[in-house]
Amino acid sequence: MGRTLCPAICFTMTDPTAPIGVFDSGVGGLTVARALLHLLPGERLLYFADTAHVPYGPRPPEQIKDFALDISAFLIEQGAKAVIMGCNTSSAVALEPARESHGPLIFGVIQPGAKAALRATRKSRIGVIATQATVSTAAYSSALRGLKPALEVIEQPCPEFVPLVEKGELNSAHTRQVTNGYLEPVLQFGVDTVVLGCTQYPLLRPLIQEIAGPEITLIDPAEETAKEVAAALREAKLVNPGTPDASAHRFFASGDPTSIKTVGARFLGQPIENIESASLWK
């Protein structure tokens, strides 16, 4: 554990053509990558799927923090000019430690999602559906009330969602039953806005919207994070001016790469063929 780099050498990359690192425990972070490529199509990706430890949700926060620091260090060593924690769970427990270790160009997904939810709500009642680990940190409640103390927030853990998404069960009878159960207390709370507090959840968005109803606004933090990263890269003059080149992306998996090749292609919106094995932990 603990592949932390000397802060003095973190993010010294000044080459706009350098890649952007994105990571998650599985395929969910590819929703952030897809949103980023939509805004900045010339960028190259380094995507790390920590499939050896998926899902992060039930794991202790200290262990998740160690994983996030190690993966961030690995991506920087591979030449990343910025790193995105494409995972709400790691963003909740590891964003600030990672910035302290590696520098400021590390981004999480919680603050951008919270800001978007605040803009969207009309009744100041917001629901958050997320992993158990994210909910246990109260990261979204803290972020939202930090922006507006009077907000009423309900956070609902959804432990079955990530395994269902990773298996591609996006609209099965069981998935519908589980989704109904998770949303019932959130909707009874009287929310008008629901944050998809895990980057795997956008693949369930059509089902969630159907069950929640058209009057509920769903917030995808992946899209909001991509906007924040794009703005930061423009300010730092680090936007890649090149043309899109899908073959320039690199994909790493710490364990079984199967879900990256199958479900991951759906998340990214393009085929994923070559996945490199990257075991950071012996």
pLDDT tens digit sequence for 92-143: 999 999 999 888 899 999 999 999 999 999 999 999 999 888 899 999 999 9
Structural domain ending residue among the three candidates 206, 222, 238: 222
DSSP conformation class of 260:
H
Nearest to 114 by CA among 133, 136, 134, 94: 134
Residue 9 pLDDT > 80: no
What is the C-alpha separation between 69 and 239, in angstroms, rounded? 25
- Asked if 64 and 87 touch (Cβ cutoff 8 Å), the reply is no
Residue 22, pLDDT score: 98
48, containing H or E segment: strand 45-49
**pLDDT tens digits for range 25-37:** 988 899 999 999 9
Could you say which of 6, 10, 158, 198 is catalytic? 198
Domain end call among 222, 240, 268 = 222
Give the type of residue at 222.
A
Given a cut of 50, is residue 6 above it in pLDDT?
no
- Taking residues 159-186, what's their average pLDDT? 94
Q: Is 6 a catalytic residue?
A: no
Strand order in the sheet with 193-197: 152-157, 125-130, 193-197, 217-219
Run of H or E residues at 155: strand 152-157
pLDDT band (50, 70, 90) for residue 267: confident
Cα-flanking dihedrals φ and ψ of residue 178, to 5°? -65, -45
- Give me the pLDDT at residue 282, please: 64
Q: State pTM to two decimals.
A: 0.88
For residue 54, pLDDT over 90 is answered with no
Catalytic annotation, pick one of 6, 10, 87, 158: 87
Residue 1 lies in a domain: no
Return the CATH number at 205: 3.40.50.1860
Identify the CA nearest to 37 among candidates 48, 51, 22: 22
- Residue 219 one-letter amino acid: I
Identify the pLDDT of residue 119. Answer: 97
Contact 87/23 with Cβ under 8 angstroms?
A: yes
Domain count, the chain: 2
Tokens encoding 85: 């924690």
pLDDT in tens, 61-77: 999 999 999 999 999 99
Residue 146 lies inside a defined structural domain of this protein: yes
Integer distance in angstroms from the first to the last C-alpha of the chain?
9
Domain hosting 217: range is 110-222
Residue 262 has pLDDT above 70, yes or no: yes
Q: Are residues 79 and 61 in the same domain?
A: yes
Helix, coil or strand: residue 142: helix
Looking at the structure, do residues 217 and 118 belong to the same domain, yes or no? yes
> 206 with 232, same domain?
no
